[in-house]
Structure 1
Amino acid sequence: MMSVRLTPYLVLPGTAGEAIAFYEKALDAQVLFKQTFGEMPANPEFPIGEEQKHLVAHAMVQVGESQLMFSDTDAGRPIQLGDQVTICITTKDASLSKRYFEGLKDGGTVIMDLHEAFFSPAYGQVKDKFGVTFHLFTEGEAMN
């Protein structure tokens, strides 16, 4: 059986760090990973202002047997209705991520093309025809 997980992904307007601390207390959440925009490799195409470096770029917490992912909105990108909770589909197979991405974009909108990123061999974002945003995340090292 292929390994596929669907994980709720909460995008917050600068309050992801507060939300994570809240869930640590309220739900006994354990932080598995947390990286701020300031801790990410610098990208000249997307410069980060000093006031945004403390914001959460990506985090994962464990609650019981489930996981939640978090990030703050990118600088200057307000949250659109329906985007506050998105779904991350995680696989270990880039070809499966591509198949899911292609299926979901039928009648939908590509937010970020499926591509190799520093954190994944195949990552992309697509909003399906129902307005639901999916992140396709392939586990494993990118071929840098």
Structure 2
Amino acid sequence: MKVKFTPFIMLDGQANEAIRYYEQALGAQIVFKQTFGEIPDEGGTSPMTEEMKARIAHSVMVAGESELFVSDSEPSQPLERGDQVNICLTVKEVSEAERIYDTLRTEGKVLLPLQPLYFSPAYGMVTDRFGVTFQIFTERS
């Protein structure tokens, strides 16, 4: 089994500012950045405000040999203290994502059920029994 752990910083509208800051402070480079307004509309979701469209849905920064993910939360999902830093756990197989997700959610809290989304065949979020939030991401084959 190959698993990759990546720190994931979640902010409330300050992701662009944080990205600029980490570029300077860490010498990080942006290799991917997508706003909520750029996400494919797969089911006629409710219209977004201009403020929401400008928020960062996902970004990938590289500093040295390490990756750092930075994004904004959706305004309808306010962050609680301790939620700002998650661990993104990347696997290659859906079956492995299911096993990890099921184990972490035992005595934990499901934030987003494991499901196929436009960017992953199996993605979900869970806070484990110790209060650590994991994003389980399955790569596309």
What TM-score do the two structures reach when normalised by structure 1? Answer: 0.92
Query: For residues 51 and 118 of structure 1, do their structure 2 counterparts lie closer, same or farther at Cα, with a shift above 3 Å needed?
Result: same
What TM-score do the two structures reach when normalised by structure 2? Answer: 0.93
Residues 8-87 of structure 1 aligned to structure 2 (within 5 Å): 8-42=7-41, 43-87=43-87
Q: What does residue 100 of structure 1 align with? A: 100
Amino acid at match of 1:15: Q
**Structure 1: gaps spanning 5 or more residues:** none
Q: What does residue 125 of structure 1 align with? A: 125
Aligned sequence identity (%)? 48
Query: Which deviates further from its counterpart, 32-41 or 70-79?
Result: 70-79
Query: Which deviates further from its counterpart, 117-126 or 132-141?
Result: 132-141
**By how many angstroms is 1:76 displaced?**
2.7
Query: Which deviates further from its counterpart, 12-21 or 43-52?
Result: 43-52
Query: For residues 47 and 108 of structure 1, do their structure 2 counterparts lie closer, same or farther at Cα, with a shift above 3 Å needed?
Result: farther
Amino acid at match of 1:33: F
Deviations 1:101-134 (A, max 9, x none): 0000000011111111100011000111111110
**Structure 2: gaps spanning 5 or more residues:** none
**By how many angstroms is 1:77 displaced?**
2.2
What is the distance in 1 between the residues matched to 2:57 and 2:94? 23
Q: What does residue 88 of structure 1 align with? A: 88
**By how many angstroms is 1:46 displaced?**
4.8
Corresponding residue SS for 2:13: coil
Deviations 1:17-53 (A, max 9, x none): 1111111111110111110001111253454211211
What is the distance in 1 between the residues matched to 2:46 and 2:17? 24
Aligned residues: 140
Corresponding residue SS for 1:86: strand
Query: For residues 71 and 102 of structure 1, do their structure 2 counterparts lie closer, same or farther at Cα, with a shift above 3 Å needed?
Result: same
Corresponding residue SS for 1:53: helix
CA RMSD in angstroms, aligned pairs only: 1.3
